[in-house]
Structure 1
């Protein structure tokens, strides 16, 4: 669904699939991205001129239909290009990490088109105080939002207490939507996710508040004085382990003693209840799979080094074919695991199989799906 249709609830008719995307039962992420760029290359000159003529609103239906067809769940918008030159197209995960990861993969595959810049995050506005957002009959202006920032030294973020005349009552939902849109305008999507912590709504701290338009200066000074570092979602990993009192050798992956993940949220749901686990990458044609093998395979060797070498070798082959990426792994008491996000269905699995065999993985290695409704596909890799 496009950014505009999310914001205003506008329904769009789906774009008929081009002949090149008809046929395969599985519309993989790789096929979706290739189909999108084939479509956009064809319309790019016309779209560029339309925006130059200040008629960009006439592109709404056509763009929404294409995004909904190829890359649903990603939001879109047009804007200025890099260094304010030319124009840009942004496809954004809107702060949802699985979708942010896939949006970045979409951006990495962008063709070079004259005058165009492509982003995988909503960009900060050079003048975030100079616009209004209308939802229904209500207009919101940035100057109406008052915030009290509180520095969280441990989490390296700034918590906010926010007040607006419509913060309570029947317009609370609209207020919350606009608040996050304004924050993205001020910091950009990644900046909001990195620097803004918890948000409380109310006027308890109104006496210490400042206009939201002055928040960026406060945060920038806070970040600079404390030397906090910027992190982007597709490079931010989490470590984890199963507490001793929760270890269960009879449940999938609950023997883990040390693991890391690029996207821990879905894995946490799997560890909590495998029978109900969902894969948030599936709606965009990607799949979270993992290799499971006996930890005795390591023998006297360093498990971290051995697993790391295998991960790198498989990841390199997937990257060469734009067919997937390594997103985590774990060492367990009985079994150990390597996680991959696959972009091209069975073709990705074939690459993993060939690479894993070349890396010397044991014959009993199994390939499993994170999603409960695909669990029956789990099987021996070789």
Structure 2
């Protein structure tokens, strides 16, 4: 049985001086967490083997809270006898999923443990009950009628439950996603499940929800659908002509993005936007320069070639990753997520010179509280 704990970053230092923050970068945080886990691995394994798992929150929660605030965690079985697993999860929040993925990529060798950056499917679906007032709702009692969407490579679900007429939709959704995560795993639910509707009647061709995994696997295999992780999925975007302006990045005609939920929040309120990556020592930065500096008709290719040079430099010591880029009516943009503070910025600056980035390029933080500056100034 696993234990899941959602943590919310207690006691984090406020960003009173965004121009000169005290650096505790994501790379430093991840390294500190792995150092601690390596030192505690045998103790945690003994607790698991003895079956007294009530001790785990008091041991693990303070460390996750200190180094990786906001993340959820769960213990489970390992891949071999005597092994155990530890999962750090963003619980469907895109920016946290990206950081959980990066946390896992910094894994040192720790014997007898398996680690995951998203909740994995359970071997057996738990028969648990949610209690809402006097209503006892068993998620395992859902029946569903699937509809295959060939174009979107999704399975849409129409669901019925014996208590569907008595339960609020909020409770139905909560119960459904708890059981879907057990059946398909955290990323599997995001990848394969399309639209969701609840029916007041049990449809004739419905199946118990416990058969969904087999149905999805058969559908995926027969059609050649690929399991794409959310952290590897990019979105195209543009600002509609009627909404374009001289405000920050609001001149964008077209771009691509590896974390659009965050960028979309920025576009909603640029002047008030606060970068959520900052809470774990990462930061969204971008380079901006005149679109006129790009060869007409070849703007995207040249911008991406410069981006590739910078990304290669960042990858040398896991200092950052690309988050996309865009072309605007006035400016062109290159987006990066940095993990090592000023050291990452130095990498970008050095690589940008080699890539031929224009001399008047500016380095900007997506966060509204952090002022930009000339990249080469």
TM over 0.5: yes
In the TM superposition, residue 323 of structure 1 has moved relative to its aligned partner by 1.7
Cross-structure match for 1:59: 56
* Structure 2 equivalent of residue 192 of structure 1: 189
1:328 aligns with 2:324: yes
Q: Deviations over 1:321-376 (max 9, x none)?
A: 222111100122321000000112222222211221232212211111112233xx
Does 2:370 match 1:342?
A: no
- Matching residue within 244, 249, 273 for 1:247: 244
Compared CA separation, residues 171 and 368, structure 1 to 2 (3 A): same
1:180 to 177, 180, 200: 177
* Partner of residue 18, structure 1: none
Structure 2, unaligned runs of 5 or more: 13-20
1:380 aligns with 2:374: yes
Bigger shift: residues 216-225 or 186-195: 216-225
Higher helix proportion (structure 1 or 2):
1
Give the distance between the partners of 1:12 and 1:26, measured in 2 at CA. 17
| C-alpha displacement of 1:171 | 6.7
Distance 2:38 2:120 in 1: 22
The correspondence for 2:277, drawn from 255, 278, 281, is 281
Aligned counterpart, 1:369: 365
Aligned-CA RMSD value: 2.8
Q: Which runs of 4+ in 1 moved over 6 A?
A: 10-15, 136-139
Aligned mate of 2:304, from 297, 305, 308 = 308
Q: 1:52 to 1:133 in 2, by over 3 A?
A: farther
Corresponding residue of 2:93: 96
Q: Mean Cα displacement is larger for which, 87-96 or 295-304?
A: 295-304
Deviation sequence 1:105-137 (CA, Å, 0-9, x none): 000001111111110010011222x54256689
Name the CA shift for 1:40/1:166 in 2 (closer, same or farther; >3 Å): farther
1:166–1:172 CA contact under 8 A, matched in 2: no
With over 3 angstroms needed to count, the CA separation of the structure-2 counterparts of 1:79 and 1:4, relative to structure 1, is closer
1:289-344: CA deviations, max 9, x gaps?
Answer: 11001122224683233222221221122222222111100122321000000112
Q: Assess if the C-alpha contact under 8 Å between 1:26 and 1:285 holds in 2.
A: yes
Query: What residue is the counterpart of 1:201 in the other structure?
Result: 198
Specify the alignment match of 1:218 in structure 2. Answer: 215
Task: Tell me what 1:4 maps to.
Answer: 4
- In the alignment, is residue 358 of structure 1 matched against residue 354 of structure 2? yes
Whole-angstrom distance in 1 between the partners of 2:8 and 2:185: 26
Is 1:121 aligned to residue 118 of structure 2? yes
Q: CA deviation at 1:93?
A: 1.1
